[in-house]
Structure 1
Amino acid sequence: MTGPGDADSVSGNSFHGPTAFQAGDHNTQNVHHHITHITQTAPAGSQAEDPLDATADELARAVGVQWQEEAGLRRLLEPAPLPVRWRVSERKVAGRIGGATAEGAARARFVALPGLAPVTRAQLRDGGGLAELHAVYGGLASGRLLVVGPPAAGKTAAAVLLLLDALAHRAAWTEPAERARVPVPVLLSLDGWNPAAETVTDWAADRLTRAYTLFHGRGGRTRARHLLEQGRISLFLDGLDEVTGALRGAMVSALDPAPFRLVVVSRAREAVLTARKARLGGALAVEILPVRPADAAGYLLNRLPSAPSPAWRELTGRLLTETGPLATALTGPLAVALLRDVYGDDGPVDELLDAARFPTPAAVENHLLDHAVAAAYTRRPGHPRPRYSAATAERTLRYVAARLAREDTRDLRWWHIPGWTGHRPRMIAVWIVSALVCGAPGMIMAWRLDPTPLIAVLGPLAAIGGGYAVARRVAELSVPQPLSSAGWRDIFTRETVLSGIAQWLVVGTALCWVVPLLRDRVPPYWLWYLITLPFGFTEVLVTGRGYDIVSRAPFLSVGSGRYAKVRESYARPSVVDTRSVGPRDVWRHHLGLRLFLGLLTGFALALYVGPLLAWAQSPLQGVLFGLTAVLWTGVASGLAGNLAAATALTAVQLHYEEGTPVRLVHFLEDARRRNLLRATGPVYQFRHARLQERLAGEGRPTGRGTGGER
């Protein structure tokens, strides 16, 4: 057996996009980045017996890339990070410790992971740090670990570091048989799970298929489910405290039979309330302890020059010798991190020692939160100039926080942004542009066919009416919509393509036989096969979950309601490499997919009549008809019904009404990279709930002041 001492690591991962997510947060720009991440390599000549071994190894690589980057953004991997300390919780959130360790029991639910010993009661008595927490995670007989603590205690940060330690432990085993016994840790948010409708295994398999490109395509969900059922994945579940009380209890009850290891992260208060109704069987609850003054002082000094300024020396010295509002505030990792970001090497940090200005820990924390955005968007030596000014960033984030507070949610779903402001201005703009751009070819074609005063009147009226119909579709997206899941692999499957080809050949051949029996002068056979191509294309879209693309296209919508009840989730980018998927990935994919298919649908409609018109009248008439069909159908199906396009249009409107950036989704991704937001699947959230509350409570400054944005 090969042990942990033979660990291999690989650097130089090439993937699409600047290092980025939320849980799952990489983008799709073709930029190469080099980061050190955790992976597994089998010895030369070895071959895994189980086909799932390669899948598990590749998932571990993708998860390692994702969370190494996320930990870097959170500055959890600096040379001297804040230490994680914990102890067994004394709160009433779990059962007896003996139920978790299974000491004296005939059989443990989970055997200890290779290289780790079973956890005992004595081992838990003194708590410990991150290394001891990993030993508990891998050696706990119940396989159920609760990580609790007060708000801003660093629970999620501890879970991320524990996940990275678990990946490192797995990577240390170069022998496939031993490595296969170590599950791949995956961190997911519990948001969106309805335990009454699906088991935790089904839900997690679905989330994995959406979060990692490894599980896209044929058989991906089945592979994810098999990994879960065999315990080859351990789930780190965050956000239990962010769901309603009744749902929390249902989730905890539904987690009990899960066939894999669990780490559940929650605020202590919500965990106690949930435990009154439902407890996770055999769970061990550990509580993240406050930061010690010595640890906070050492952490702050490590980022300063060897000879700190007098202000910093006074502050760190007072931390070690006195208690007060500042020392109490800095027992939380959030306040320590904010203090480090807000004040530079020569900043007046000693002002926080003024008890008259900052009489309470809350006053200290509020002061730091109020300067967090400006600090994130202040140019630092050796770093590129921020793309947005601090004023623009703060104004935008205050507006976003106020919107989320109004909706009583922490989730910023970009496809709900079209409902943030009145739709009338963008509706009018789309109406005018559509009538002018799309209507012009049709009016020219009609005038060439029949140059009469009636056509001169009806042509513009038809263009105005068509523009209004397109504008109405834009207005409809102001109401919150589900995000369609139709992707390339969902639509163009082998079965749908074969079905489309069969329908095209049947219809084209039938016309070649029937039409000559009814008319003397008929087009050549190849023309019939050309103009019947749309029948096959329509069949592909309708049977392959592209029904909503053609649902309002003339002549193409027949039968498009047959699959209207297909289950929706959200769009998935096509597989290029194995990586996590973030909000901007989904936005870009949705925009490109719908636009392309909309134009393709317009081309299909053009084929219905365009070639015949060119044969019977003139090539120019056929081209004008085709151009009219492509423009109108492309706009109606690819842009007007496109949530990503509606979001982009709303961002332009918000820029003029609220002073937010024109490229709002790009700004949100930039804010995530500056550690103000985080991503969970296709959803953005504020990194800290307290930051969101503070920004929402202060109100929005007046005036646009858009300097600094691009």
Structure 2
Amino acid sequence: MSGNVFHGPAAFQVGDHNTLDVHHHSHHTHHTHRITPQAPLDVVADELARVVGAQWQEEAGLRRLLEPAPLPVRWRVSERKAAGRIGGATAEGARARFVAVPGVSQVTREQLRDGGGLGELHAVYGGLASGRLLLIGPPAAGKTAAAVLLLLDALAHRARIGAEDRVRVPVPVLLSLEGWDPGAESAVDWAAGRLTREYTLFHGRGGRERARRLLEAGRVSLFLDGLDEVTGRLRGAMVSALETAPFRLVLVSRAREAVLTAKKARLGGALALEIQAVRPADTAAYLLNRLPADPSPAWRALTGRLLDQPDEPVQPDRPDRPGSVLAAALANPLAVALLRDVYADDGPVDELLDAARFPTPTAVENHLLDHAVAAAYSPRPGLPRPRYSPETAERTLRFIAARLTQDGSRDLRWWHIPGWTGPGPRIIGVWLVATVVCGTPGVLLAWSLYPTRQTAVLSCFAAIWGGSDIARRHAALSVPQPLSSAGRRDIFTRGTIWAGITQWLFVGTMLCLCIPLVLSIPLLTDDAPPLWFWYVVTLPLGFSEVLVTGRGYQIVTGAPVLSVGSGRRYDSVRERHSSPAVVDSRSVGPRDVWRHHIGLRLFLGLLTGCALALYIGPILAWTQYPLVGAMFAVTAFLWTGAAAGLAGNLAVATALTAVQLHAEEGTPVRMMHFLEDARRRNLLRATGPVYQFRHARLQERLAVPRE
């Protein structure tokens, strides 16, 4: 700057849309560049894309879909009556319901004629005029794997597109259809609720509304898995409800269930693509790429038999050529992956060529499924020794599979584990421990104040009754409970903290002014408590206000004095204060929810006991004796902490059930650790906050009692 003349860029903001005009001056030219910052919804969409990408990149790695290179995905337009005419999906000569996403051309009938692979699948997804895609196939055909790879391709394409076009590329999100009641919730309402529960980006005040706006604007595309896992009538209701959904859809289902559903309710404009069986040559190449350069004779025999087959898909239900039983058994990605898991580089894999032992493809597949758990938990050179033995792992997974099959579900919700066995032993144990540990200080306190036989009897009965109440609270968790999966930032928001501070200061100040007047005690006499005393004893009220105005209100439910405001009538206040100052964007998995309950919610429950002790103890210590106040404080802490922190905690109930199951069924004591370990070994997978078996066939096989 010289002579008060500024020779740099000048910026100013104009208009209602935060448009920034930047003017560059020079001696010869004058340039104006218009920079438009991202709209709030654009920022949310981009952050959701980042979180979904990280989530499924990790999950795809655990499912071994990325490294080493997966089996090729091939598809054709299905000839089954699972959808309408192709012309309805491509909208040739008619107005398209969805324009093609930037970088992808509109799909035509000619492009669909010969089918294709994963690249062509993304072109169909992004260019289909109807925006309705069905991925179908027989069991274990790799439909979900294809959907996951398609999702990652869609995210990669979105990342490559320029910022101006990116707003027209929807963010793909994969959800399970289990648990949706179309009669009670519309597709948008249900999807918004699921996004709110599974992604912390939508936690807190206004989160559900942000999710709804993304869905209504078509900024999200839903990949919906598990249509074949719900009952027939519910499937039809779901398809009908999805008819008017304002976003792109990819539905994943077994072919048989898709055809049955289409007889009652057909998704208008949907295109049904059938995932093709794996070709024998592709299977052989996949296996050889993972073997040493000079494979063992057993592996050479098996891959040689596959290479002798024609280079065309083998129908698993009609193997009609020599050696085609093996090719038909290995015509799906699940069986191929299991084969590589079960047999080592020097394993006797050629035993599968024995037609007498394995006369059908099902026999081969069952053999591989029966050895999957043992293979996953067998020691491997260069890897840490498994924490659990193959026998323990198989016994546990068989028990879990049988229980889920009995419940008619594929979703393993860890907070439902307390209902897997009779609660009687736990009730008795909790009752005894609570009576002895929590009741003893109360009995001693009563005896010290009134040392009579009647006092001892009454205090003992009170301890027994209190222990039974704690046990009843614990037993209530044996019935399936809704999951409270709020995170730390949902409980401790800027609004809840300020509400707590305001409540504390207001009540403390009012006591400072009112108590001396009521008791006619001058403030400055020796008998009056100091001013700080009232702020100390009212601090617990501020703590309870933080919880009841946030998402931790259930923790203080039932606590004397502190539970005021924890009822449903306080929901409007709670919504007003539940906007997190900083959003911790990530997907919520089973382990995250478990850690939240066994960590933060348990700690806050015990802290509730401390709060009540701090509220009661000092008052009694000042008005009576310090020892009396201390004993009252200990008693209040034990009973309230046990009720709020232990008896009402889903993670504690699950941990105690795991101990009981260990004694009754021989399952691991640390059940959650085992489940996460099984996921790491690709026997389980995570879908949101629930676990599922790697494949429905694995659950079905493990649920069958051993002969």
- Normalised to the residue count of structure 1, the TM-score between the two structures is 0.87
Query: Considering only CA atoms, is the larger Rg found in Structure 1 or Structure 2?
Result: 2
**What is the aligned counterpart of 1:126 among 114, 130, 145?**
114
Residue 601 (structure 1) aligned with residue 593 (structure 2): no
2:18 match: none
The answer to whether the Cα contact below 8 Å between 2:147 and 2:223 also exists between their aligned partners in 1 is yes
Q: 1:188 to 1:575 in 2, by over 3 A?
A: farther
Structure 2 letter corresponding to 1:74? R
Alignment of 1:227-266 (within 5 A): 227-266=214-253
Instruction: Give the counterpart of 1:304 among 282, 291, 295.
Output: 291
CA deviation profile, 1:102-121 (whole Å, cap 9, x unmatched) = 1111x212222222211110
Cα displacement (A) at 1:364 = 0.6
Shift of 1:514: 3.9
Q: Is 1:112 equivalent to 2:100 in the alignment?
A: yes
Match of 2:668 in 1: 661
Residue pairs, 1:176-215, within 5 angstroms = 176-215=163-202
User: What are the equivalent positions in structure 2 for 1:311-710 lying under 5 Å apart?
Assistant: 311-321=298-308, 322-485=322-485, 487-519=487-519, 520=521, 522-544=528-550, 546-558=552-564, 560-563=566-569, 577-699=584-706
Q: Secondary structure, in 3 states, of the residue corresponding to 2:223?
A: strand
Q: In 1, Cα distance between the equivalents of 2:297 and 2:169?
A: 50
In the alignment, which of 260, 263, 287 is matched to residue 273 of structure 1? 260
Deviation at 1:543, TM superposition (A): 4.6
1:474 shift after superposition: 1.4
1:219 equivalent in structure 2 = 206
Residue 155 (structure 2) pairs with residue 167 (structure 1): yes
1:438, CA displacement in angstroms? 2.2
CA deviation profile, 1:33-70 (whole Å, cap 9, x unmatched): xxxxxxxxxxxx97643233332222222111111122
**Partner amino acid for 1:129?**
G
Q: Give, in whole Å, the separation in 2 of the partners of 1:575 and 1:382.
A: 42
Distance 1:73 1:562 in 2: 41
Give the C-alpha shift of residue 456 in structure 1. 4.3
Counterpart in 2 of 1:100? 89
Check conservation: 1:80, 1:302, Cα contact below 8 A. Answer: no
Aligned partner of 2:651: which letter? A
State how far apart, in whole Å, the 2-side matches of 1:610 and 1:526 are.
15
491-500 or 232-241, larger mean C-alpha shift: 491-500
Letter in 2 for 1:124: L
How far 1:534 sits from its partner (Å)? 3.8
Q: CA deviation at 1:457?
A: 4.2
Q: What's the counterpart of residue 38 of structure 1?
A: none
SS at match of 1:553: coil
Normalised by the length of structure 2, the TM-score is 0.87
**Counterparts of 1:575 and 1:394, CA distance in 2:** 43
Aligned equivalent of 2:76: 87
Residues in 1 aligned to 2:584 and 2:544: alpha-carbon distance in whole angstroms: 30
| Gap change, CA 1:670 and 1:465, over 3 Å in 2 | same
| Cα displacement (A) at 1:330 | 0.9
Following superposition, the deviation at residue 245 of structure 1 comes to: 1.0
| Secondary structure of 1:550's aligned partner | coil
Residue in 2 that maps onto 1:144: 132
The answer as to 2:273 corresponding to 1:286 is: yes
Name the structure 2 match of 1:707.
none
The answer to whether residue 144 in structure 2 is matched with residue 156 in structure 1 is: yes
Deviations 1:276-311 (A, max 9, x none): 111111111100001111111111111111111111
Size of the aligned set, in residue pairs, is 652
Closer, same or farther: CA 54–574 of 1 in aligned 2, 3 Å: closer
Cα shift readout 1:188-224 (whole Å, capped 9, x = no counterpart) = 1111222222222222122112212222233322322
**Does the Cα contact within 8 Å between 1:415 and 1:644 map onto a contact in 2?**
yes
Conserved 8 A contact 1:53-1:176: no
Q: 1:373 to 1:485 in 2, by over 3 A?
A: closer
Paired residue type of 2:537: I
Q: Distance in 1 between matches of 2:495 and 2:62?
A: 43
Aligned to 2:3: none
Change (3 A) 1:575 1:454: farther
Q: Which has the higher contact order (CA 8 A, sep 6+)?
A: 1
Instruction: Measure, in 1, the Cα distance between the counterparts of 2:252 and 2:438.
Output: 53
User: What is the Cα deviation at residue 451 of structure 1?
Assistant: 4.1
Amino acid corresponding to residue 146 of structure 1 in structure 2: L
**Further displaced range: 462-471 or 242-251:** 462-471
Q: Structure 1 stretches of 5 or more lacking a match? A: 1-44, 702-710
| SS of match in other structure, 1:548 | coil
Q: CA deviation at 1:449?
A: 3.2
User: Match for 2:428: what amino acid?
Assistant: I
Q: CA deviation at 1:650?
A: 0.4
Change (3 A) 1:566 1:400: farther
The answer as to whether partners of 1:102 and 1:108 remain within 8 angstroms in 2 is yes
Return the alpha-carbon distance in structure 2 between the equivalents of residues 566 and 365 of structure 1.
Answer: 55
Matched residues in 1 for 2:247 and 2:658: separation?
43
Q: For 1:60 and 1:661, how far apart are their aligned partners in 2?
A: 37
Retained in 1: the 8 A contact 2:490–2:580? Answer: no
Which amino acid in 2 is paired with 1:634?
A: G
Q: Secondary structure of 1:193's partner?
A: coil
Distance 1:378 1:493 in 2: 47
Sort the Cα spacing of 1:394 and 1:573 in 2 relative to 1 into closer, same or farther, 3 A.
farther
Asked if the contact 2:426/2:656 (under 8 Å) is kept, the reply is yes
Q: 1:74 and 2:81 equivalent? A: no
Distance 2:260 2:293 in 1: 48
The 2-side partners of 1:151 and 1:687 are apart by: 13
The aligned counterpart of 2:22 is: none
- The answer to whether the 8 Å contact 2:197/2:485 transfers is no
Secondary structure at the counterpart of residue 669 of structure 2: coil
Q: One-letter code of the match for 1:604?
A: A
Partner residue, 1:34: none
Which piece of structure 1 moves more, 464-473 or 83-92?
A: 464-473
Q: Structure 1 residues 479-488 or 225-234, which shifts more?
A: 479-488
Aligned pairs for 1:55-74 (under 5 A) are: 55-74=44-63
Q: Secondary structure in 1 aligned to 2:478?
A: coil
Contact residue 256 and residue 280 of structure 1 kept, 8 A = yes
